[in-house]
Structure 1
């Protein structure tokens, strides 16, 4: 049996992804990418229409996201994105520094050449929007998210990715709300410089420097968001 035959016949290759899982992943992508804002009300029908599917798989996906604490359902059955309190934001930021810092440190040691190529492409896309006269904020959000998740994937520690995704499901809407509403953070946030610092640290396989750069990136962004007054007491 050839290697390709083994891949085709392996359980992972034969596993089918259900429609409910596809919808769940699409909604996760919207939350992580900041497309849904804190406090935003959601309709099963509108979500189904936007995803080109029926209500049933959307209801299944929403139930999973409620269990993940990424969405909430009121006693009247209204679905919404949770509002972030200042205390919870600070707690999530502290956890992100620890977990994402570890992931980036490991990425410095474990990455491959293709990981650097992918990171550089996402960094270039983000840098383009930072320097544009009229930046496309949606494209900037996407490039920033893609950079971070490619970075964490480069650690080559599969058990880390669901943990980090869980953090971003909760913090993604507020993390990206400020950038989505105003392009000012692209100019003053400093993420561009930290991304370059991270890539250079990875090239040198300097785990401590890479970890310091992602910590600075996370904490600087958190400070800017906290200063906007959009977090609830």
Structure 2
């Protein structure tokens, strides 16, 4: 039987896990943007909890590389460097290619209908310029492929990458618009044909196409920093 202290600690863990999950989802869906500051007390008030589980969840995300901590009062969404972005893109290229290939072998009619619905909803969101919804639908599409592939370990690995890359994708999404989902139709076609190689190629083309804009942004950012550093010399 749990004593009072055990019950308090268990409740704290549950709150901390819930807050961590909520913040992770906000990072993956691009609700939080690069360099955005997260204030512990404001988050605690918004989530109806004390500051302790919020602080614990934030520190957990700092440890995972999604947030940066320059002081106890300055916790921000990490702004990935160009090198970090390229590394994450390379890893996603291989892992999401693997997921798409396996999804092509496993996909049922129900799975395909769900993916088609996500793409159709994304078209509506883009036409309405509802980029927050569009970003969330895009993320759902990518993770639905992993679910169809029946690769739960891979999903956990990709989640760690998406909590880092999600804010950057969101920053670029409205500039890319339909280019961000064009290849989703080729992925659907590959799954309908049960063609794993075509599915792999299509998802990798999707990453490279959407990533082109992200790469331009990071290169411009890096060049600006170099110019500023040279001006200070």
Q: TM-score, normalised by structure 2?
A: 0.84
Match of 1:162 in 2: 156
Match of 1:136 in 2: 130
Distance in 1 separating the partners of 2:187 and 2:108: 15
- Residues matched between the structures, number: 212
Say which SS state the counterpart of residue 149 (structure 2) adopts: coil
Paired residue for 1:202, among 191, 202, 225? 191
Is 2:45 aligned against 1:46? no
Is 2:171 aligned against 1:177? yes
Aligned-pair Cα RMSD in Å:
2.0
Distance in 2 separating the partners of 1:159 and 1:231: 34
Instruction: Show the 5 A alignment for 1:105-124.
Output: 105-124=101-120
Distance in 2 separating the partners of 1:211 and 1:202: 10
Match of 2:217 in 1: 228
Match of 2:96 in 1: 100
Say which SS state the counterpart of residue 154 (structure 1) adopts: helix
Q: How big is each residue's C-alpha offset from its partner over 1:31-88, in whole Å with a ceiling of 9 and x where there is no partner?
A: 0011111111111112222323222221121121112111121145521111111111
8 Å contact kept, 1:84–1:232: no
Structure 1 residues 63, 150: CA separation in 2 closer, same or farther (over 3 Å shift)? same
Distance in 2 separating the partners of 1:68 and 1:184: 28
Question: Which structure would you say has the larger Rg?
Answer: 2
Higher fraction of helix: 2
Q: TM-score, normalised by structure 1?
A: 0.84
